[in-house]
Structure 1
């Protein structure tokens, strides 16, 4: 399986993602944002970080980078595209996934482990994951997911909510929502479910001696579903 990680000025999780993908069997290539063509890929990842210093709006300038024309075409043709944290912000700016990402509820940068509950497994990202609850890491200032009532209805009617913030037992309540996201939403799909945007970082949870292994469950499952 071949993957591509896009690097923008200010990306800081691109190398972490490269390590994670290679660890679980992807042949990964790093792609500079100014390039115009994607390598042949089974998966394209927009990594976390602070592209363009988060000026204007998080992800807005990166969404206009040269390579994004190819990424958008790849996604629209059914290609698998995953945006993590700043990558999620870039996805909403391109319109590849619905909604927007606002400042965190208490206007503070959040950096900690959280639990998320898988809301839908009818997709290649989460199909066959043995558990319903995963522990991932978050590190963001603008992770407060918001959408209009009409968008929310469409998202819920089509099961486009990927994961929700919860406690370690999968209980979904406001107190387990770290940033104020509507309905505790931590990640969403596009209508075809080939594009996933989520705030938590699975690539930071791939080693039990350093962090945890729930990210390992995610990546092992993903590559198996793509084969």
Structure 2
């Protein structure tokens, strides 16, 4: 979701003349657009627990990118400070394991929701036509609808699984930071173009319960960047 610098410059030039945005106490801002989660994955080796626990050397978990509709709502409690709530439709990520088979194993997929609350600072004058901002807050990520692939089920069957394996991924609470920019347009200056990026401290543990065999688990640091490009409306 990285827009070319040239395109961003054209947008800035186009919207700057004669426009103003009043970021003042009591204002409310709704932003929406395409949000893409791009995890920066660091994984421990898989651990196999039967009668004891042993690491499976050379293995790691990978998590794919995904995009969906992102939504943010802001309440300005002063001319330069606001509180933002971030929401989205569920993200769905493909999961892979390296080092367990000759080829990367399609492990399955999971969905997640990332509700986040941030304190924001708007440094420009409240009538500025181009308004950058930064924010810091907390993220709560919940994973659900974990599904294993047929290939993973077949592998566990060869290991002696007596029933279908089940995967679970722990929820996470961590720090979130953001940077964004609004660029006004429209006769009443209520509409805006918006570009935003968030970084989220996201650590979790994934575990697969394999009946008749034991469990397979890994600690995973996702620490994703989340990019959103879209529109906003100021009330």
TM-score normalised per structure 2: 0.24
Give the structure with the higher percent helix: 1
Highest Rg: 1 or 2? Answer: 2
Give the structure with the higher percent strand: 2
